[in-house]
Chains A and B, each alone.
Chain A
Amino acid sequence: MEFEPVIGIEIHVELKTKSKMFSSAPCSFGEKPNSETTYYDLAFPGVMPVVNKEAVAYGIKVITALNMTLDKTLYFDRKNYFYPDLPKGYQITQQFRPIGKDGYVIIYVNGEEKRIGVEQAHLEEDTAKQIHLSDISLLNFNRCGTPLIEIVSLPQMHSGIEAMKYVEAIREIVTYLGVSDGKMENGSLRCDINISLREKGTEKLGTKCECKNLNTIQNIKAAVDYEIKRQTEILNNGGEVEQETRRYDEGLKKTVLMRKKTDAIDYKYFREPNIVPIDLDDGFIYDAIHSMNKLPNQYRKDLRRVGLGDYEIEELLKDREFVLFFVDCLTLGVKNPRTLWSILMVDILGYLNKNDLTISQSHLKKKDLVTLVDLLNDKKINSRQGKDILATMLEEGKSPESIIKEKGYVQVSDDDFINEIVGKVLEANAQSIADWKRGKDRALGYLVGQAMKLSQGKINPSLAKEKILNRIGPCGKQE
């Protein structure tokens, strides 16, 4: 029997607001345990939640980016359960009226565009962190109360690669918006993936398993692929898939059982009585939407328009800082975007990685980079000179013009100068010319090299080569 996998994904995104969702404690990562808390975070009797405006503004940005409908009145609800990482004994979330509903994300799978529906997005607060040692469990409340937005997809994905692309798209969006650092390895973006199989061609959904603990993008694909295989085998052997929560074990490269559905908790949801419904001000909504950063898919369109290929675009999009830098250079009128791309993504990226710098920490100025690329494009300098100039730009922050002046690089495409050099070289190397004419093609390279040496690297080697060829004729042809 042939099966169709059906996948739905819930993503929790930690919002990097200055303070927590309902308290004034700062949001941070890696601070001393239990140093970033207030009375609220520890749930002392009598504390009350105060909604963080910044988190709401971030929420508005996310749901706008996900093409969702915004609920202009905010409601919050309590999700009740006992757990040591939940000091109040309930989490404040938006069970009944999420801030956003009915949106979608565009993903690209094997060059094809696909639209994945997003059912809803809601704001809530994170729990504390537990550390279990052999004889003791420790609680760190720093994370407790960090704002989260939970994004719930429709069950509209059907493969490991689609699931991975979906999560990647959400991660890109939240990082481009600047609302989250979206680091799966730190848990600032966490996914729960629901996977079920159904007979191909049928509508009814099969029994699903929920998969947790996916801390890299690659693990998503691996876990989903594994789970599809596991469930297919069960069904093919005449068995039934049980509703379970499973965990991806990176070492085993398998999903393993955490708990069966029968252990499910009744969360006894009800409206949070300490927060009266909040009517969002139109001006507040306007400001949130109009201060949104440009989204990756918008950049994709722009970059395709200037002639970059898919590979180049995707590489560039991996870091928003590079995209911004690139786009600014385009705005400054760079003549050849592909040359710009290769200098930025090969030479400059290599330099930054080697020196552990970000682009904004380096000396590099956009205007200078544009000048350099244009000089190369106009063949006014050769690529070797280009590399030299770039290295100095990166190290010292000087402009290409001043570096050219200092190093004495002249206008290399000056015909008379090149002719003079070529003349001198040919005069001094009669043996090489003879070799060339006898068919030794390596002689040409030698002659060009001599021309470069004589000109102290100033001339454009391809022009020099052209002129030498004009004078010495085709290889292996005796006169």
Chain B
Amino acid sequence: MTKWNKHSISYLHDALVKKQVTPLELVEDCIKGIQADDCNSFEALAFEEARKAAEQIGEIKEDEYLKGIPFLAKDNYSTKGIETTASSNILNGYVPLFDATAISKLKRAGMIMVAKTTMDELAMGGTGTSGHKGPTLNPYDHERIVGGSSCGSASSTALGIAPLALGSDTGDSVRKPASYSATVGFKPTWGRISRFGLFPFAPSLDTIAYFTRNVLDASYVLTALAGKDSKDMSSSSRKKEHYQDYVINKRSLKKIGYFKAVNDAIEDERLKSKYHELLDKLKDHGYEVVCYEYPVDLLNALYPTYMIISCAESTSNNANLDGIRFGPIAEGNPKTYEEYMKACRTKGFSDLIKRRFVIGSFSLLSQNQFEMFSRAQKARRLIVDNMNKFFDGLDYLILPASYSKPKKIKELSTAWSTKPDFLDNILGLGNFGGFPSITLPLMFEDGLPFGINITGRTFEDGYVLGMAKEIEEITGLKDLVKGDK
């Protein structure tokens, strides 16, 4: 257990300003936590770089909220000089020449990156078990998954190793593991944060997202990360805000909706009653809570739509991984470029990844494109149009972030379910429309966490944080660290 990093950013900031601790001591404390990790949370370590960075930090002023504080980053962020593999063998030994914009922004804010975290291979997967280093374990139960794809960031945040871990969210890759690890997982609006340097999975859905242990910390981090980046044309030029003001002043909007179909489908009675208990308390706090009938056929379309769009985009985005310019070179003695690429890609990708590539390629082939990819795009538009209709009258969608306990690792199956449950894929709504969406702890059941999720209108990130703060106060669940009192 760390002494310092189990605390929040605001706590550490206070201690740094008061000179109760130095950045270097925070880094050493974080390193101790990393060395004690028993969940398989880490890829490359950057201890020396972190110590050096900590030593160079001078005076910390009161408005330098993030300065001197350690953080961790999922292994799909390009980090200059630090091996970055996206937990895939095809990138073993790849040392990037540049920092992702999110990384450099945090560095410029004075934060110190100490290590890279494990993930599902190339961010494709939701279990945190498909990376080249094997499964990442749930700190609350080592037999269970912590969820993915940002598994190492979720587990390390829950373990109190650092108060911030960057992840990325394409379907629910931060918000689902946050639910399984009793952390706060925030996916801001698509375009609010530059994705430059994030290894792409499906760019139209990919969002920079991250784990903290309370809502206020999440707001400070967004203030540091938001903004237009000339290197990412999809980053928004909208004015960035001081998002912490929404949290500190509890600025929120008043109309909350929940989906009738989701409510009806919840099987876990304890979850259902806790969910309603929260909705009732929100009513007591003056919020209007409305049961909304979102079309069920569109909820059922979430999974196939997501799979086709994300696989199609991913097959293209990962076509650069051919072993020619970086990554391990081909074994055997390939004679042609086709043989060379085939050798690298056959060895470098796991079967799960290949399956996704095949699905993606298949749905883009000219004879299939109309029936698969174009249809998925149309379905996506319908899904988003209906969400926008929802937001015409209501300010927030409130959903449980997970509907059952995290699965046991040995019970996982890689077979594809023929009858997907929309509850498993519901958080993808936030990615389809680029909506800001946050998960925070709701309850524990048999010692295992469940999260609650709030989604708002695009670029109303501040109001989503403000609402989350309200809920955090209602549940009283914040700054949770596994094993801490």
Contacts and interface: CB of A to CB of B under 8 A. Distances in A.
Given A44-B78, A45-B91, A268-B364, A275 B234 contact: yes
11 contacts: A45-B86, A46-B76, A46-B196, A46-B199, A48-B233, A48-B234, A49-B233, A80-B364, A89-B320, A273-B204, A274-B233
Contacts of B86: 45
B89 to A, nearest CB: 14
A268 B365 contact: yes
Nearest to B363: A268
Interface residues of B, number: 47
A42 interface: yes
Contact of A82 (B100, B200, B319): B319
B6 interface: no
Contact of B98 (A44, A83, A274): A44
Interface stretch (B110-118, B173-181, B321-329): B321-329
B326 A84 contact: no
Contact of B203 (A45, A84, A88, A274): A274
A87 B364 contact: no
Nearest to B321: A45
Contacts of A49: 233
Nearest to A89: B319
Could you tell me the dominant secondary structure of chain A's interface residues?
loop
Contacts of B78: 44-46
B238 to A, nearest CB: 13
A47 B97 CA distance: 11
A275 B233 contact: yes
A351 interface: no
Interface string A226-249: 000000000000000000000000
A12 B320 CA distance: 24
B411 to A, nearest CB: 33
A11 to B, nearest CB: 25
A45 B320 contact: yes
Interface in A1-53: 39, 42-51
B313 interface: yes
B100 to A, nearest CB: 6
B354 interface: no
Contact of A276 (B94, B97, B234, B312): B234
A87 B337 contact: no
Interface in A88-118: 88-90
Nearest to B203: A273
A274 B337 contact: no
A44 B326 contact: yes
A278 B100 CA distance: 24
B316 A78 contact: yes
A90 B199 contact: no
B373 interface: yes
Nearest to A84: B337
A46 B100 contact: yes
Interface string B86-125: 1000010010111010000000000000000000000000
Given A44-B320, A270-B369, 20 more contacts: A39-B97, A44-B97, A44-B325, A45-B320, A48-B195, A49-B233, A80-B316, A80-B319, A82-B322, A84-B337, A89-B316, A89-B318, A266-B366, A268-B316, A268-B361, A268-B366, A268-B369, A273-B204, A274-B203, A276-B234
A428 interface: no
A137 interface: yes
Contacts of B230: 50
B312 A270 contact: yes
Interface in A306-331: none
Nearest to A80: B316
A139 interface: yes
Contacts of B94: 45
B278 interface: no
A46 B84 CA distance: 11
B351 interface: no
B234 A274 contact: yes
Contact of A90 (B97, B197, B233, B316): B316
A47 B202 CA distance: 14
Nearest to B324: A84
Contacts of A87: 320, 324-325
Contacts of A274: 200, 203, 232-234
Given A51-B233, A137-B337, A273-B204, A46 B197 contact: yes
B341 interface: yes
A90 B202 CA distance: 15
Given A274-B233, A275-B234, A48 B313 contact: no
A65 B302 CA distance: 47
Interface string B235-259: 0000000000000000000000000
Contact of B364 (A83, A270, A278): A270
A80 B369 CA distance: 14
B76 to A, nearest CB: 8
B52 interface: no
Interface in B352-372: 361, 364-366, 369
Given A46-B198, A82-B341, A276-B233, A88 B326 contact: no
Contact of B231 (A43, A50, A89, A139): A50
A231 to B, nearest CB: 28
Interface in B57-104: 76-78, 84, 86, 91, 94, 96-98, 100
Nearest to B320: A43
Contacts of A39: 97-98
Contacts of B322: 82, 84, 89
Nearest to A83: B337
Contacts of A275: 233-234
A266 B366 CA distance: 7
Interface string A247-282: 000000000000000000010111001111010000
Contacts of A273: 202-204, 234, 313
A102 to B, nearest CB: 25
Contacts of A43: 320, 325
Contacts of A266: 365-366
Contacts of A276: 191, 233-234
Contacts of A269: 364
B200 A90 contact: no
Contacts of B91: 45
A224 to B, nearest CB: 30
A223 to B, nearest CB: 28
Contacts of A278: 233
Give the interface centre of A44, A50, A84, A266 by most chain B CB atoms within 10 Å: A44
A190 to B, nearest CB: 22
A158 B406 CA distance: 70
A270 B373 contact: yes
Smallest CB-CB A-B distances: 6 pairs: A89-B319, A268-B364, A273-B204, A273-B203, A43-B320, A46-B197
Contacts of B233: 48-51, 274-276, 278
Nearest to A86: B319
A137 B334 CA distance: 13
Give the interface centre of A48, A274, A276 by most chain B CB atoms within 10 Å: A48
Contacts of A47: 196-197
A275 B235 CA distance: 10
B166 to A, nearest CB: 13
Contacts of B77: 46
Nearest to B195: A48
B80 to A, nearest CB: 11
A45 B364 contact: no
Contact of A139 (B199, B203, B324, B341): B324
A82 B316 CA distance: 10
Contacts of B199: 45-46
A42 B325 contact: yes
A278 B237 CA distance: 13
B231 A48 contact: yes
B356 to A, nearest CB: 15
Nearest to A43: B320
B84 to A, nearest CB: 8
Contacts of A82: 319, 322, 338, 341
